Chains A and B, each alone.
Chain A
Amino acid sequence: MIAVLVLGSAICACALAELLYPGQAVYHAGWLNVAVAAAAVLVISGTLRSLRRVQAGRARIALVAFAFGTVMVAVAVVSSGLLAPDNHSVVGAPGQSVRSDELGGSLVFPFVGQGAPQPVVLERGGNAQTIENVRLDGSFLLHAVPRTVVAVEARDTRGGRLTITQPTGSVFLSPVLLMQGTQNLAGMSVAFDSFAVPAAHHVVKAVLFTPDQTVRLPAATSGYAVLFDVEDDAGNEAPHGIGLARDGVLVTLGGLQLRPHVLTYPAIDVIAIPDVTVTIAGILLALLSGAAAVFFESRLTPRAASQ
Protein backbone atom coordinates (compact mmCIF):
# COMPACT_ATOMS: atom_id res chain seq x y z
CA MET A 1 0.00 0.00 0.00
CA ILE A 2 2.84 2.38 0.85
CA ALA A 3 4.37 1.92 -2.62
CA VAL A 4 1.01 2.80 -4.22
CA LEU A 5 0.71 5.92 -2.09
CA VAL A 6 4.26 7.02 -2.91
CA LEU A 7 3.81 6.46 -6.65
CA GLY A 8 0.44 8.26 -6.67
CA SER A 9 1.89 11.17 -4.72
CA ALA A 10 4.68 11.47 -7.30
CA ILE A 11 2.08 11.80 -10.08
CA CYS A 12 0.25 14.48 -8.08
CA ALA A 13 3.51 16.32 -7.41
CA CYS A 14 4.29 16.29 -11.13
CA ALA A 15 0.84 17.75 -11.94
CA LEU A 16 1.20 20.38 -9.25
CA ALA A 17 4.57 21.40 -10.70
CA GLU A 18 2.96 21.80 -14.14
CA LEU A 19 0.32 24.10 -12.65
CA LEU A 20 2.75 26.14 -10.56
CA TYR A 21 5.51 26.45 -13.19
CA PRO A 22 3.57 26.33 -16.47
CA GLY A 23 4.99 26.47 -19.94
CA GLN A 24 8.14 24.35 -19.57
CA ALA A 25 9.08 22.43 -22.72
CA VAL A 26 9.79 19.27 -20.72
CA TYR A 27 6.06 18.85 -20.01
CA HIS A 28 5.57 17.87 -23.65
CA ALA A 29 8.51 15.39 -23.62
CA GLY A 30 7.51 11.86 -24.52
CA TRP A 31 9.58 10.23 -21.77
CA LEU A 32 7.93 12.24 -19.01
CA ASN A 33 4.41 11.44 -20.19
CA VAL A 34 5.21 7.76 -20.73
CA ALA A 35 6.63 7.69 -17.20
CA VAL A 36 3.48 9.30 -15.75
CA ALA A 37 1.25 6.86 -17.68
CA ALA A 38 3.36 3.90 -16.52
CA ALA A 39 3.16 5.17 -12.94
CA ALA A 40 -0.62 5.38 -13.23
CA VAL A 41 -0.79 1.78 -14.50
CA LEU A 42 1.41 0.69 -11.58
CA VAL A 43 -0.89 2.56 -9.16
CA ILE A 44 -3.93 0.72 -10.55
CA SER A 45 -2.28 -2.73 -10.47
CA GLY A 46 -0.75 -2.00 -7.03
CA THR A 47 -4.15 -0.93 -5.71
CA LEU A 48 -5.83 -4.11 -6.97
CA ARG A 49 -3.11 -6.17 -5.30
CA SER A 50 -3.26 -4.16 -2.06
CA LEU A 51 -7.02 -4.57 -1.79
CA ARG A 52 -6.46 -8.24 -0.98
CA ARG A 53 -3.97 -7.43 1.80
CA VAL A 54 -5.59 -4.39 3.40
CA GLN A 55 -7.77 -5.49 6.28
CA ALA A 56 -9.91 -2.46 7.11
CA GLY A 57 -12.97 -2.10 4.83
CA ARG A 58 -12.83 1.71 4.97
CA ALA A 59 -9.13 1.65 4.11
CA ARG A 60 -9.98 -0.38 0.98
CA ILE A 61 -12.54 2.21 -0.14
CA ALA A 62 -10.06 5.00 0.56
CA LEU A 63 -7.37 3.19 -1.46
CA VAL A 64 -9.70 2.87 -4.45
CA ALA A 65 -10.53 6.56 -4.14
CA PHE A 66 -6.81 7.35 -3.99
CA ALA A 67 -6.16 5.36 -7.17
CA PHE A 68 -9.11 7.07 -8.85
CA GLY A 69 -7.83 10.54 -7.94
CA THR A 70 -4.33 9.66 -9.09
CA VAL A 71 -5.55 8.32 -12.43
CA MET A 72 -7.62 11.49 -12.97
CA VAL A 73 -4.49 13.55 -12.44
CA ALA A 74 -2.40 11.29 -14.68
CA VAL A 75 -4.95 11.49 -17.52
CA ALA A 76 -4.93 15.30 -17.26
CA VAL A 77 -1.12 15.43 -17.27
CA VAL A 78 -0.61 12.97 -20.14
CA SER A 79 -3.37 14.38 -22.36
CA SER A 80 -1.98 17.89 -21.90
CA GLY A 81 1.59 16.69 -22.48
CA LEU A 82 0.90 14.64 -25.59
CA LEU A 83 -2.24 16.11 -27.19
CA ALA A 84 -2.10 19.83 -26.40
CA PRO A 85 -0.31 22.13 -28.84
CA ASP A 86 3.08 23.52 -27.89
CA ASN A 87 3.07 26.93 -26.25
CA HIS A 88 2.45 29.64 -28.80
CA SER A 89 1.60 33.30 -29.10
CA VAL A 90 -1.52 34.57 -30.84
CA VAL A 91 -0.70 37.95 -32.33
CA GLY A 92 -3.61 39.91 -33.76
CA ALA A 93 -4.14 43.33 -35.30
CA PRO A 94 -6.53 45.79 -33.63
CA GLY A 95 -10.08 44.77 -34.57
CA GLN A 96 -9.02 41.34 -35.76
CA SER A 97 -10.82 38.22 -34.61
CA VAL A 98 -8.54 35.18 -34.53
CA ARG A 99 -10.21 31.77 -34.50
CA SER A 100 -8.69 29.30 -32.02
CA ASP A 101 -9.89 25.71 -32.28
CA GLU A 102 -8.09 24.64 -29.09
CA LEU A 103 -9.91 27.34 -27.12
CA GLY A 104 -13.16 26.58 -28.93
CA GLY A 105 -13.72 30.26 -29.71
CA SER A 106 -12.18 33.44 -31.08
CA LEU A 107 -9.73 35.89 -29.61
CA VAL A 108 -10.97 39.37 -30.43
CA PHE A 109 -8.27 42.03 -30.38
CA PRO A 110 -9.40 45.52 -29.31
CA PHE A 111 -9.15 48.65 -31.39
CA VAL A 112 -6.53 51.16 -30.45
CA GLY A 113 -8.03 54.31 -29.00
CA GLN A 114 -7.14 56.94 -26.50
CA GLY A 115 -5.35 55.77 -23.34
CA ALA A 116 -4.37 52.24 -22.43
CA PRO A 117 -5.49 49.49 -24.83
CA GLN A 118 -8.55 47.46 -23.87
CA PRO A 119 -7.95 43.78 -23.05
CA VAL A 120 -8.27 40.98 -25.58
CA VAL A 121 -11.61 39.17 -25.35
CA LEU A 122 -12.18 35.43 -25.70
CA GLU A 123 -15.58 34.95 -27.38
CA ARG A 124 -17.05 31.49 -27.15
CA GLY A 125 -20.63 30.34 -27.61
CA GLY A 126 -22.09 33.79 -26.98
CA ASN A 127 -19.93 34.42 -23.89
CA ALA A 128 -17.19 37.02 -23.78
CA GLN A 129 -14.33 36.77 -21.28
CA THR A 130 -11.68 39.44 -21.02
CA ILE A 131 -8.03 38.44 -20.69
CA GLU A 132 -6.66 41.21 -18.48
CA ASN A 133 -3.38 39.59 -17.48
CA VAL A 134 -3.62 35.85 -16.86
CA ARG A 135 -6.69 33.70 -17.33
CA LEU A 136 -7.13 30.00 -16.60
CA ASP A 137 -9.24 28.37 -19.25
CA GLY A 138 -9.65 24.63 -18.69
CA SER A 139 -6.55 23.06 -20.20
CA PHE A 140 -4.93 26.37 -21.13
CA LEU A 141 -3.38 29.32 -19.41
CA LEU A 142 -3.89 32.51 -21.37
CA HIS A 143 -1.35 35.22 -20.69
CA ALA A 144 -1.65 38.73 -22.11
CA VAL A 145 1.84 39.87 -23.10
CA PRO A 146 2.56 43.45 -24.17
CA ARG A 147 4.22 43.83 -27.56
CA THR A 148 5.44 46.86 -29.45
CA VAL A 149 3.57 47.60 -32.68
CA VAL A 150 3.62 50.54 -35.06
CA ALA A 151 0.52 52.32 -36.37
CA VAL A 152 1.37 54.15 -39.59
CA GLU A 153 -0.34 57.12 -41.14
CA ALA A 154 0.32 57.64 -44.87
CA ARG A 155 -0.57 60.76 -46.82
CA ASP A 156 0.10 62.10 -50.28
CA THR A 157 2.16 65.25 -50.73
CA ARG A 158 -1.02 67.38 -50.47
CA GLY A 159 -1.84 65.83 -47.12
CA GLY A 160 -4.66 63.55 -48.29
CA ARG A 161 -4.87 60.32 -46.33
CA LEU A 162 -4.03 57.11 -48.20
CA THR A 163 -5.10 53.51 -47.65
CA ILE A 164 -2.51 51.20 -46.12
CA THR A 165 -2.67 47.51 -46.95
CA GLN A 166 -0.65 44.53 -45.79
CA PRO A 167 -0.81 41.97 -48.62
CA THR A 168 1.58 39.64 -46.78
CA GLY A 169 0.26 40.29 -43.28
CA SER A 170 -2.46 38.50 -41.35
CA VAL A 171 -4.88 41.37 -41.92
CA PHE A 172 -5.14 42.99 -45.34
CA LEU A 173 -6.63 46.36 -44.38
CA SER A 174 -4.65 47.37 -41.33
CA PRO A 175 -2.49 50.44 -40.75
CA VAL A 176 -1.04 48.75 -37.64
CA LEU A 177 2.19 46.86 -38.27
CA LEU A 178 2.63 43.93 -35.89
CA MET A 179 6.44 43.90 -36.36
CA GLN A 180 6.77 40.12 -36.18
CA GLY A 181 9.92 39.83 -38.30
CA THR A 182 13.39 40.31 -36.87
CA GLN A 183 16.70 40.93 -38.58
CA ASN A 184 20.21 41.96 -37.71
CA LEU A 185 21.13 45.47 -38.65
CA ALA A 186 24.46 47.04 -37.66
CA GLY A 187 24.86 44.44 -34.93
CA MET A 188 21.40 45.05 -33.51
CA SER A 189 18.42 42.71 -33.60
CA VAL A 190 15.56 44.84 -34.88
CA ALA A 191 11.89 44.15 -35.61
CA PHE A 192 10.55 44.86 -39.07
CA ASP A 193 7.39 44.70 -41.13
CA SER A 194 6.15 46.02 -44.45
CA PHE A 195 3.06 47.58 -45.97
CA ALA A 196 1.77 48.84 -49.29
CA VAL A 197 0.27 52.16 -50.29
CA PRO A 198 -1.64 51.06 -53.42
CA ALA A 199 -2.84 54.53 -54.39
CA ALA A 200 0.78 55.64 -54.71
CA HIS A 201 2.03 52.27 -56.08
CA HIS A 202 4.55 52.08 -53.25
CA VAL A 203 5.70 49.31 -50.94
CA VAL A 204 7.30 50.41 -47.68
CA LYS A 205 9.52 48.44 -45.33
CA ALA A 206 9.52 49.62 -41.71
CA VAL A 207 12.29 48.80 -39.22
CA LEU A 208 11.68 49.59 -35.56
CA PHE A 209 14.45 50.83 -33.28
CA THR A 210 13.93 50.76 -29.52
CA PRO A 211 15.13 53.72 -27.41
CA ASP A 212 18.29 51.72 -26.51
CA GLN A 213 19.01 51.09 -30.18
CA THR A 214 18.13 54.58 -31.36
CA VAL A 215 20.98 56.19 -29.40
CA ARG A 216 23.45 53.92 -31.23
CA LEU A 217 22.35 55.13 -34.67
CA PRO A 218 24.56 57.56 -36.63
CA ALA A 219 21.69 60.07 -36.70
CA ALA A 220 21.56 59.93 -32.91
CA THR A 221 18.12 60.62 -31.53
CA SER A 222 16.08 59.47 -28.57
CA GLY A 223 12.95 57.39 -28.01
CA TYR A 224 11.48 54.96 -30.49
CA ALA A 225 12.23 55.53 -34.16
CA VAL A 226 11.18 53.83 -37.38
CA LEU A 227 13.35 53.53 -40.48
CA PHE A 228 11.19 53.62 -43.61
CA ASP A 229 12.40 52.29 -46.95
CA VAL A 230 10.05 53.26 -49.80
CA GLU A 231 10.08 51.28 -53.05
CA ASP A 232 7.82 51.26 -56.09
CA ASP A 233 5.67 48.28 -57.08
CA ALA A 234 8.54 46.83 -59.12
CA GLY A 235 10.92 46.88 -56.16
CA ASN A 236 12.93 49.90 -57.29
CA GLU A 237 14.09 52.33 -54.64
CA ALA A 238 12.01 55.52 -54.66
CA PRO A 239 14.10 58.73 -54.89
CA HIS A 240 14.84 60.00 -51.36
CA GLY A 241 12.92 56.96 -50.15
CA ILE A 242 14.92 56.02 -47.05
CA GLY A 243 14.70 57.90 -43.80
CA LEU A 244 14.27 57.71 -40.06
CA ALA A 245 11.08 58.93 -38.40
CA ARG A 246 10.77 59.51 -34.67
CA ASP A 247 7.64 58.29 -32.92
CA GLY A 248 4.77 60.60 -33.87
CA VAL A 249 6.79 62.74 -36.28
CA LEU A 250 5.79 63.16 -39.95
CA VAL A 251 8.49 62.58 -42.59
CA THR A 252 8.34 62.90 -46.36
CA LEU A 253 10.00 60.00 -48.19
CA GLY A 254 9.73 58.92 -51.82
CA GLY A 255 6.72 61.17 -52.43
CA LEU A 256 4.84 59.94 -49.36
CA GLN A 257 4.23 61.55 -46.00
CA LEU A 258 4.62 58.92 -43.29
CA ARG A 259 4.05 59.19 -39.56
CA PRO A 260 4.70 56.25 -37.19
CA HIS A 261 2.96 55.88 -33.84
CA VAL A 262 4.67 53.32 -31.61
CA LEU A 263 2.18 51.53 -29.37
CA THR A 264 2.14 48.82 -26.75
CA TYR A 265 -0.44 46.24 -27.73
CA PRO A 266 -1.30 42.84 -26.23
CA ALA A 267 -0.63 39.43 -27.73
CA ILE A 268 -1.90 36.26 -26.07
CA ASP A 269 0.45 33.46 -25.03
CA VAL A 270 -1.44 30.16 -25.06
CA ILE A 271 0.17 27.72 -22.60
CA ALA A 272 -1.10 24.16 -22.22
CA ILE A 273 -1.58 22.95 -18.65
CA PRO A 274 -3.30 19.88 -17.20
CA ASP A 275 -7.05 20.59 -16.93
CA VAL A 276 -7.26 22.70 -13.77
CA THR A 277 -10.59 21.42 -12.46
CA VAL A 278 -9.78 17.76 -12.96
CA THR A 279 -6.22 18.12 -11.64
CA ILE A 280 -7.17 20.01 -8.48
CA ALA A 281 -10.10 17.67 -7.82
CA GLY A 282 -7.86 14.64 -8.41
CA ILE A 283 -5.10 15.92 -6.14
CA LEU A 284 -7.55 16.74 -3.34
CA LEU A 285 -9.21 13.35 -3.68
CA ALA A 286 -5.86 11.56 -3.65
CA LEU A 287 -4.62 13.60 -0.69
CA LEU A 288 -7.70 13.04 1.47
CA SER A 289 -8.26 9.41 0.53
CA GLY A 290 -4.55 8.57 0.87
CA ALA A 291 -4.54 10.03 4.39
CA ALA A 292 -7.77 8.18 5.17
CA ALA A 293 -6.37 4.87 3.91
CA VAL A 294 -3.30 5.20 6.15
CA PHE A 295 -5.43 6.27 9.12
CA PHE A 296 -7.97 3.44 8.89
CA GLU A 297 -5.37 0.78 8.20
CA SER A 298 -3.07 1.91 11.04
CA ARG A 299 -6.04 2.05 13.46
CA LEU A 300 -6.98 -1.51 12.61
CA THR A 301 -3.51 -3.02 12.51
CA PRO A 302 -2.66 -2.70 16.28
CA ARG A 303 -6.10 -4.08 17.18
CA ALA A 304 -5.73 -6.96 14.74
CA ALA A 305 -2.25 -7.62 16.07
CA SER A 306 -3.47 -7.70 19.67
CA GLN A 307 -6.26 -10.19 18.91
Chain B
Amino acid sequence: MRGRALWVVAAVAAAVAFFVIWPFFRQGSNNAVGPAGLAGSPAPVFDLLDDRGAAASLAGYRGKVVVMNLWASWCPPCRAEMPDLQRLYARYERRGVVVVGVNEGESAQRAAAFAQSLQIRFPIWIDDQQRYGRIYAALGLPTTVVVGRDGTVVHGYDGALTYSQMQSAVEPLAAK
Protein backbone atom coordinates (compact mmCIF):
# COMPACT_ATOMS: atom_id res chain seq x y z
CA MET B 1 0.00 0.00 0.00
CA ARG B 2 2.79 2.38 1.01
CA GLY B 3 4.74 1.51 -2.11
CA ARG B 4 1.73 2.30 -4.31
CA ALA B 5 1.27 5.67 -2.62
CA LEU B 6 4.90 6.52 -3.28
CA TRP B 7 4.43 5.63 -6.96
CA VAL B 8 1.41 7.95 -7.15
CA VAL B 9 3.48 10.74 -5.60
CA ALA B 10 6.28 10.06 -8.09
CA ALA B 11 3.84 10.13 -11.03
CA VAL B 12 2.35 13.45 -9.90
CA ALA B 13 5.89 14.84 -9.45
CA ALA B 14 6.75 13.77 -13.01
CA ALA B 15 3.61 15.51 -14.33
CA VAL B 16 4.54 18.71 -12.50
CA ALA B 17 8.09 18.48 -13.85
CA PHE B 18 6.73 18.13 -17.40
CA PHE B 19 4.44 21.13 -16.87
CA VAL B 20 7.40 23.22 -15.68
CA ILE B 21 9.89 22.10 -18.32
CA TRP B 22 7.88 21.92 -21.56
CA PRO B 23 7.62 25.72 -22.11
CA PHE B 24 11.36 25.81 -22.65
CA PHE B 25 11.09 23.41 -25.58
CA ARG B 26 8.00 24.79 -27.32
CA GLN B 27 8.38 26.19 -30.82
CA GLY B 28 6.22 28.64 -32.70
CA SER B 29 3.50 27.14 -34.84
CA ASN B 30 4.04 29.65 -37.63
CA ASN B 31 7.69 30.34 -38.32
CA ALA B 32 7.18 32.00 -41.72
CA VAL B 33 8.87 35.38 -41.86
CA GLY B 34 7.74 38.45 -43.72
CA PRO B 35 4.25 38.96 -45.16
CA ALA B 36 3.73 35.20 -45.72
CA GLY B 37 3.62 34.77 -41.93
CA LEU B 38 0.44 36.87 -41.73
CA ALA B 39 -1.74 34.35 -43.57
CA GLY B 40 -4.76 33.51 -41.44
CA SER B 41 -4.61 36.60 -39.25
CA PRO B 42 -7.02 39.55 -39.46
CA ALA B 43 -5.83 42.33 -41.77
CA PRO B 44 -5.12 45.47 -39.74
CA VAL B 45 -7.23 48.45 -40.72
CA PHE B 46 -5.99 52.04 -40.66
CA ASP B 47 -7.59 55.25 -41.79
CA LEU B 48 -5.47 56.73 -44.57
CA LEU B 49 -5.95 59.32 -47.29
CA ASP B 50 -5.92 58.52 -50.97
CA ASP B 51 -3.87 60.44 -53.54
CA ARG B 52 -6.70 62.97 -53.91
CA GLY B 53 -6.93 63.62 -50.19
CA ALA B 54 -10.13 61.62 -49.57
CA ALA B 55 -10.47 59.26 -46.60
CA ALA B 56 -9.67 55.63 -47.38
CA SER B 57 -9.80 52.46 -45.31
CA LEU B 58 -9.73 48.73 -45.80
CA ALA B 59 -12.93 48.59 -43.72
CA GLY B 60 -14.80 50.00 -46.73
CA TYR B 61 -13.94 46.89 -48.75
CA ARG B 62 -15.32 44.26 -46.38
CA GLY B 63 -17.05 41.61 -48.48
CA LYS B 64 -14.61 42.02 -51.34
CA VAL B 65 -11.27 40.41 -52.06
CA VAL B 66 -8.55 43.03 -51.73
CA VAL B 67 -5.15 42.79 -53.38
CA MET B 68 -3.12 45.30 -51.41
CA ASN B 69 0.15 46.23 -53.06
CA LEU B 70 2.73 48.23 -51.09
CA TRP B 71 4.93 50.27 -53.41
CA ALA B 72 7.08 53.37 -53.82
CA SER B 73 8.00 55.36 -56.92
CA TRP B 74 11.75 54.82 -56.43
CA CYS B 75 11.40 51.03 -56.54
CA PRO B 76 12.02 49.58 -60.07
CA PRO B 77 10.23 46.23 -59.45
CA CYS B 78 7.18 48.17 -58.23
CA ARG B 79 7.11 50.10 -61.51
CA ALA B 80 7.48 46.86 -63.48
CA GLU B 81 4.62 45.19 -61.58
CA MET B 82 2.11 48.05 -61.83
CA PRO B 83 0.77 47.35 -65.37
CA ASP B 84 -0.02 43.75 -64.37
CA LEU B 85 -1.85 44.94 -61.27
CA GLN B 86 -3.88 47.31 -63.46
CA ARG B 87 -4.66 44.38 -65.80
CA LEU B 88 -5.74 42.26 -62.83
CA TYR B 89 -7.95 45.07 -61.54
CA ALA B 90 -9.61 45.55 -64.92
CA ARG B 91 -10.27 41.84 -65.33
CA TYR B 92 -11.47 40.94 -61.82
CA GLU B 93 -13.22 44.10 -60.62
CA ARG B 94 -16.64 42.77 -61.66
CA ARG B 95 -15.95 39.58 -59.73
CA GLY B 96 -15.54 41.37 -56.42
CA VAL B 97 -11.77 41.82 -56.47
CA VAL B 98 -10.26 45.22 -55.71
CA VAL B 99 -6.64 46.21 -56.17
CA VAL B 100 -5.33 48.92 -53.83
CA GLY B 101 -1.89 50.44 -54.23
CA VAL B 102 -0.51 51.70 -50.93
CA ASN B 103 2.33 54.13 -51.38
CA GLU B 104 4.86 53.80 -48.59
CA GLY B 105 6.26 57.02 -47.24
CA GLU B 106 5.97 59.40 -50.17
CA SER B 107 3.89 62.51 -50.78
CA ALA B 108 0.48 62.31 -52.45
CA GLN B 109 1.71 64.43 -55.35
CA ARG B 110 4.58 62.10 -56.11
CA ALA B 111 2.35 59.02 -55.85
CA ALA B 112 -0.36 60.55 -58.04
CA ALA B 113 2.14 61.60 -60.71
CA PHE B 114 3.59 58.09 -60.74
CA ALA B 115 0.16 56.45 -61.03
CA GLN B 116 -0.85 58.85 -63.79
CA SER B 117 2.32 58.14 -65.77
CA LEU B 118 1.43 54.42 -65.76
CA GLN B 119 -2.31 55.01 -66.35
CA ILE B 120 -3.25 53.31 -63.11
CA ARG B 121 -7.02 53.33 -62.41
CA PHE B 122 -7.16 51.44 -59.13
CA PRO B 123 -7.21 53.34 -55.81
CA ILE B 124 -3.89 54.71 -54.56
CA TRP B 125 -3.58 55.28 -50.83
CA ILE B 126 -0.89 57.29 -49.10
CA ASP B 127 0.72 55.64 -46.07
CA ASP B 128 3.10 58.43 -45.15
CA GLN B 129 3.98 56.87 -41.78
CA GLN B 130 4.77 53.54 -43.51
CA ARG B 131 2.51 51.72 -41.05
CA TYR B 132 1.33 49.03 -43.46
CA GLY B 133 4.95 48.31 -44.34
CA ARG B 134 5.71 47.55 -40.71
CA ILE B 135 2.55 45.71 -39.76
CA TYR B 136 2.75 43.52 -42.89
CA ALA B 137 6.39 42.79 -42.03
CA ALA B 138 7.54 43.94 -45.45
CA LEU B 139 11.05 42.71 -46.18
CA GLY B 140 11.28 45.04 -49.17
CA LEU B 141 9.14 46.59 -51.87
CA PRO B 142 6.92 45.64 -53.53
CA THR B 143 4.96 43.61 -51.00
CA THR B 144 1.55 42.22 -51.84
CA VAL B 145 -1.09 40.97 -49.42
CA VAL B 146 -4.34 39.33 -50.48
CA VAL B 147 -7.18 39.92 -48.03
CA GLY B 148 -10.24 37.68 -48.18
CA ARG B 149 -13.89 38.74 -48.07
CA ASP B 150 -13.98 38.26 -44.28
CA GLY B 151 -11.04 40.60 -43.70
CA THR B 152 -8.51 37.84 -43.09
CA VAL B 153 -5.11 37.78 -44.80
CA VAL B 154 -5.07 34.88 -47.27
CA HIS B 155 -1.65 35.32 -48.89
CA GLY B 156 1.40 37.53 -48.35
CA TYR B 157 4.12 37.92 -50.95
CA ASP B 158 7.54 39.52 -50.80
CA GLY B 159 8.78 40.91 -54.14
CA ALA B 160 7.22 41.46 -57.53
CA LEU B 161 4.60 38.99 -58.80
CA THR B 162 4.00 37.91 -62.37
CA TYR B 163 0.49 38.21 -63.79
CA SER B 164 -0.03 34.46 -63.62
CA GLN B 165 0.97 34.44 -59.92
CA MET B 166 -1.54 37.22 -59.27
CA GLN B 167 -4.22 35.27 -61.11
CA SER B 168 -3.57 32.05 -59.21
CA ALA B 169 -3.82 33.94 -55.91
CA VAL B 170 -7.09 35.68 -56.81
CA GLU B 171 -8.98 33.19 -59.02
CA PRO B 172 -10.06 30.82 -56.20
CA LEU B 173 -11.34 33.78 -54.15
CA ALA B 174 -13.12 35.71 -56.91
CA ALA B 175 -16.88 35.47 -57.36
CA LYS B 176 -17.93 33.04 -60.12
Contact = CB atoms under 8 A, between A and B. Distances in A.
Interface residues on A, range: 35 or more
B55 interface: no
A87 interface: no
Contacts of A162: 105-106
Contact of B9 (A68, A79, A97, A198): A68
Residue among A163, A164, A171 having the largest count of chain B Cβ atoms under 10 Å: A163
A173 B138 contact: yes
A160 B19 CA distance: 57
Contacts of A171: 134, 137
A23 to B, nearest CB: 17
Interface stretch (B68-76, B82-90, B149-157, B167-175): B68-76
A198 B74 contact: yes
A111 B139 CA distance: 19
The bracket for how many chain B residues form the interface is 35 or more
A111 to B, nearest CB: 6
A161 B128 contact: yes
A278 interface: yes
A72 B10 CA distance: 11
B12 interface: yes
Interface string A68-97: 100110011001000110000000011111
A33 interface: no
A176 to B, nearest CB: 9
Nearest to A272: B24
A83 to B, nearest CB: 4
Chain A at the B interface: SS class: loop
B162 interface: no
B110 interface: yes
Nearest to A282: B16
A76 B105 contact: no
A138 B73 CA distance: 47
Given A68-B13, A71-B13, A160-B107, A139 B28 contact: no
B108 to A, nearest CB: 9
Interface in A97-139: 97, 99, 101-102, 104, 111, 138-139
Nearest to B18: A75
Nearest to A167: B140
A173 B134 contact: yes
A68 B27 CA distance: 30
B54 interface: no
Contact of A160 (B16, B24, B104, B110): B110
Contact of B28 (A95, A101, A172): A101
A159 B107 CA distance: 9
Contacts of B129: 111, 175
A50 B9 CA distance: 17
B94 interface: no
A175 B24 contact: no
A178 B71 CA distance: 24
Contact of A104 (B26, B70, B73, B134): B26
A68 to B, nearest CB: 6
10 contacts: A64-B6, A72-B16, A79-B17, A84-B24, A101-B27, A138-B23, A139-B20, A160-B109, A173-B104, A175-B105
Given A79-B21, A111-B129, 10 more contacts: A64-B9, A76-B20, A79-B24, A83-B25, A96-B134, A160-B110, A173-B133, A173-B134, A198-B72, A199-B74
Interface of A: 64, 68, 71-72, 75-76, 79, 83-84, 93-97, 99, 101-102, 104, 111, 138-139, 159-164, 171-175, 198-199, 275, 278
Leading 5 A-B pairs by shortest Cβ distance? A173-B133, A163-B105, A95-B134, A199-B74, A83-B24
